[in-house]
Amino acid sequence: MEASTAQYVLECSTEDCENNCQFYCNHCHRPLCEQCRDEHQKNPDTKNHEVVPFLQHKRHLPVDKCKLHPTRNADILCNECNIPLCSKCTTMEEHFGHKFVDMEDTDAEKLAFCLEEISKIQEYFLPTSKGLKTETDEDGKEVKKTMDGIRNSIKAEAKSLKDLVDKVTSDKLEQANTIEKSLLKVLKQQEKTYDDYNKYLEKLLKEFHDYLPLSNFKVLLSAKLENSKIQFIPETTKPVPPVFTAGQFTYDDVSKLHGNIGVPNIKPDKRKIKPMATSLTQLKPTEKEMKQDREKSDVKQTLSLSASVTKVREYTVPGVDRVYHISLGKSGRLWASDEYGNLVHTDLQGDQLQKIRTSGTDEGYHTVTQDGDLIYTDRKNKVINRIQQDNTVTEFIKTGNWKPISIHSSHINGDILVGMVKGGEAKVTRYNKAGEEIQNIQRDNKGQALYNDPHYITENINGDICTSDYSKHAVVVVNKSGQHRFSYTGQGSMFVPYGICTDLLGHIIVCDSFHMNNKVHILNQDGHFLSLLLTPQQGINNPCCLCVDDENNLHVGQYNTNTVTVYKYLQ
């Protein structure tokens, strides 16, 4: 045991008693156990002694003699002069009007203060500090895990880049080989041309030689030499060899291709230090905190999946053909959209409050923030807009060359998660509440693309980012650091995920909109299939979107109607 936290146990002072001390006789200055205290107070000689709990005891102080009155004990303290005195000293003129206290009382007060501070250190400061140290250790492990993932991603991206360089190199070498073959072919043809011409000259040379002997004189006279005129030497062209122009690139160019590592430019959160309780023996949460914890705990402990799903009610969303996405707001209001860019603000009675035109289609392109504002993606202009509660629309975030198609506002910390696409690539980007980019998620630890088409996106209670990827036929789940956890691809048949949401218990609920399926799947937060929550037998037809309200009811929008059906699925 560390000396700083050791608690020494004092035994009862009664002979042959081995019990722990709980009380103290201020008169005898003896520690007593409960049994010996009772006997001490029954004894006629000690029944009038002051016996108190040990933490309130007065210690048996060493006795000093008064310097002015050696026959008396200095057992009184002058508060003004802060010196020990005897009772006779208190009558002296220099102490007239001063306040005096019994030195045992002063010692008891200071002892109580020391015990109180010891209790604070042992019960609050040390445990809290050790808890924070443990938290830093855990953070260190998380940092190590994150950096291992980043290092793996760097290596995987480097391999991808090297593979591309190798492919480009191979293609260019093949191009060089093709050019070389073409030039050699032309030269080969020219070589044949001169071979044929040389044979012609040799034949002509032999013919002229044959005319020279006198014996062939008559032949020479009869020969038509004008037909033997020498043909001109054939003209050919010299090949023009190709020129290699070296690429112009620098370290920075390659570095940009290789991605970047950077610490997000955000202010780090301070570690939470719980307040010290007023009680010395235990740290009590506030009544409000206890009530909230009890309510949350009670809800989680009492909720579970029902054996059957019950239809609660229906409501119609005016101004849309079909309901492809729902964002629940405050006070029983919601936003809903169709595939034609109609975005409608309505209440559960079907009263339209506002309607705007957007560039959105059949995806989860809007969400309600912690402040109650609606934000939605504009894929055409590559921005994210905000609709404030006074109905004004403002440009909130620009997404550069990436088209934002899906969005979700975190209920945990207000961060904004956006699914984006660009030229065959896809990613999920995290922004803070102020709209500052703090994280990009695009590849797994092997350098493989995580997403093709992040159509709908949400966040689970443990911080996991859950994405419904229409093109991949999968629900892709990564943790809050962006590390791939699992992908869910359905139950054997073609899986076409659309709307996705999570609930208070960490369930992942997703629509399967393949025309032969028409089902709603429910998984636990580790991706294990639990059941088909809704099927065509329950009247469901092409479910497109869903969300869970504050009463833990499931709202489901469908392809063929602008009516939303509400189900109770927890009990």
Same domain, 318 and 243: no
Asked whether residue 259 carries a pLDDT value surpassing 50, the answer given is yes
Minimum mean pLDDT among 417-421, 464-468, 480-484: which range? 480-484
239 and 303 together in one domain: no
**pLDDT score, position 283:** 35
Owning domain of residue 246:
144-257
Assess if residue 50 is contained within a domain: no
467 burial via Cβ count (<10 Å: 0-12, 13-18, 19+): buried
- 240 and 334 belong to one structural domain: no
Note whether residue 403 is domain-resident: yes
Summarize the confidence of residues 139-161 as an average pLDDT.
88
490 and 439 together in one domain: yes
**Residue where a domain stops, chosen among 235, 257, 279:** 257
pLDDT of residue 182: 92
> What is the predicted pLDDT for the residue at 430?
94
**Are residues 309 and 433 both part of a single domain?**
yes
Counting residues of the chain whose pLDDT is more than 90, the rounded percentage is: 44
- In the predicted model, is pLDDT for residue 346 greater than 70? yes
Q: In this structure, are 372 and 249 located in the same domain?
A: no
Q: 452 and 361 in one domain?
A: yes
- Over range 426-437, report the average pLDDT: 93
Q: What is the mean pLDDT of residues 228-237?
A: 86
CATH number, residue 321: 2.120.10.30
The reply to whether 83 falls in a domain is: no
| Burial readout 323-362 (b: 16 or more C-beta within 10 A, e: otherwise) | bbbbbbbeeebbbbbbbebbbbbbebeeeeeeebebebeb
Work out the angle at residue 476's Cα, subtended by the Cα atoms of residues 157 and 499, and round it to the nearest 5 degrees.
Answer: 140
Q: What is the pLDDT of residues 35-55, one digit of tens each?
A: 999 999 999 999 889 888 876
Paired strand residues for 304: none
Residue 107's pLDDT is 67
- Whether 14 is in a domain gets the answer no
Mind giving me the DSSP string for 47-91? Answer: TTS-EEEGGGPPP-PPP-B-SS-TTSB--EEETTTTEEE-TTGGG
pLDDT of residue 289: 41
In a domain, 71, yes or no: no
* pLDDT band at residue 248 under the 50/70/90 scheme: confident
In this structure, are residues 85 and 102 in contact, taking their beta carbons and an 8 Å threshold?
Answer: no
Assess contact for 86 and 76: CB atoms under 8 A: yes
Give yes or no for residue 227 having a pLDDT over 70.
Answer: no
Task: Please tell me the predicted confidence (pLDDT) of residue 7.
Answer: 44
| Confidence grade of residue 220 (pLDDT, cut at 50, 70, 90) | low
pLDDT score of 546: 95
Q: Are residues 215 and 312 in the same domain?
A: no
Closest by CA to 379, choosing from 395, 401, 403, 415, is 403
Least confident of 221-225, 249-253, 255-259, 496-500: 221-225
Residue 464 has pLDDT above 90, yes or no: yes
Question: What is the distance between the alpha carbons of residues 550 and 566, in angstroms, rounded to a whole number?
Answer: 13
Last residue of a domain, one of 200, 229, 257: 257
Q: Report the distance separating Cα 536 and Cα 205, nearest Å.
A: 98
- Domains contained in the chain, number: 2
Q: Based on the domain organization, do 193 and 249 belong to the same domain?
A: yes
Per-residue model confidence (pLDDT) at position 4: 38
Domain boundary among 257, 288, 313: 257
The structure's pTM equals 0.51
Residues 6+ apart with CB under 8 A from 19: 11, 12, 33, 34, 35, 36
Q: What is the pLDDT of residues 72-122, one digit of tens each?
A: 888 888 888 888 888 888 888 888 888 888 777 676 677 777 777 887 888
> 422 and 509: one domain?
yes
pLDDT value of position 492: 81
Indicate if 236 and 308 belong to the same structural domain: no
pLDDT at 9 over 60: no
**In-domain check, residue 10:** no
CA atoms within 13 A on the CB side of 506: 12
Q: pLDDT per residue over 519-529, tens digit each?
A: 999 999 999 99
Average pLDDT over residues 433-439: 91
Q: Is residue 388 part of a domain?
A: yes
The rounded mean pLDDT for the chain is 85
Instruction: Give me the pLDDT at residue 332, please.
Output: 80
Predicted pLDDT at 279? 35
Regarding whether 346 and 251 lie in a shared domain, the answer is: no
Q: What percent of the chain has pLDDT over 70?
A: 88
246 within domain boundaries = yes
**Distances 258 to 159, 163, 252, 378, 444 between C-alpha atoms, Å:** 10, 13, 10, 29, 15
pLDDT tens-digit map of 271-303: 878 776 533 333 344 444 444 444 555 555 578
